[in-house]
Chain A
Amino acid sequence: DTGVSQDPRHKITKRGQNVTFRCDPISEHNRLYWYRQTLGQGPEFLTYFQNEAQLEKSRLLSDRFSAERPKGSFSTLEIQRTEQGDSAMYLCASSHDWAGYGYTFGSGTRLTVV
């Protein structure tokens, strides 16, 4: 297992376009998290899944954002009608369902909206 994989690493899009990011967690991890990080700030929680169930969504996750985790494996995060304020690093992490120390993060997808 090579850890948490995120694709693409970088994405440049025009304002108003839709984008989708993919995260492949560590295979035995039940929980999957999405975070957003802007320059100079710590990661901000967006949402998490326990298997295929989305258990919590942050208020940061506006109606333009949607996340899925079909079959409890990989996850996708879609942003519709992108805005310049969506420019950020989008991080995915996975963990066992009980371990607070066992988070493994991917290297993130850096989104630039022009």
Chain B
Amino acid sequence: DAKTTQPPSMDCAEGRAANLPCNHSTISGNEYVYWYRQIHSQGPQYIIHGLKNNETNEMASLIITEDRKSSTLILPHATLRDTAVYYCIVRVATVNNQGGKLIFGQGTELSVKP
């Protein structure tokens, strides 16, 4: 079962920041937080990941609370192309140096509106 809880849907105005929350209160010390998104009729796409520090890349920022029990994905200037389902996943980085499977929940359906 997925170890995360996300709101089922959110709206965001185009050009504004989209803040997508994720609760992972049972996260273990060696588990990372990963975010993927799935645009309609496509496979999921990696966005960003982190362990305990905040992370930023060209797509988004990831803010992880100090106790690591929740995180927020931030899309700084949402566009219509960011309309998608966003999945928050927790997983160990490696299992005996072998990457384990990703377990997806139901995600948050983000609708960016003009």
Please list the residues of chain A having a beta carbon within 8 angstroms of any beta carbon in chain B: 4, 31, 33, 35, 40-45, 48, 50, 55-56, 91, 93, 95-108
Contacts and interface: CB of A to CB of B under 8 A. Distances in A.
Interface string B81-114: 0000101000111100111111111110000000
25 contacts: A35-B104, A40-B106, A41-B106, A42-B85, A42-B104, A43-B44, A44-B104, A45-B102, A48-B101, A55-B98, A97-B98, A97-B99, A98-B94, A98-B97, A98-B99, A100-B49, A100-B92, A100-B99, A102-B46, A103-B36, A103-B44, A103-B102, A106-B43, A107-B42, A108-B43
B34 A100 contact: yes
B45 interface: yes
Given A33-B101, A50-B98, A95-B99, A101 B44 contact: no
Nearest to A56: B101
A103 B46 contact: yes
A20 B113 CA distance: 39
A44 to B, nearest CB: 7
B46 A43 contact: no
Contacts of B106: 40-42
A101 B104 CA distance: 14
B109 to A, nearest CB: 9
Interface of B: 2, 32, 34, 36, 41-46, 48-49, 85, 87, 91-94, 97-107
Contacts of A33: 101-102
Given A99-B99, A101-B34, 6 more contacts: A33-B101, A48-B101, A100-B49, A101-B48, A102-B46, A103-B44
The residue among B34, B97, B101 with the most chain A CB atoms within 10 A of its own CB is B101
A45 B103 contact: yes
B25 to A, nearest CB: 19
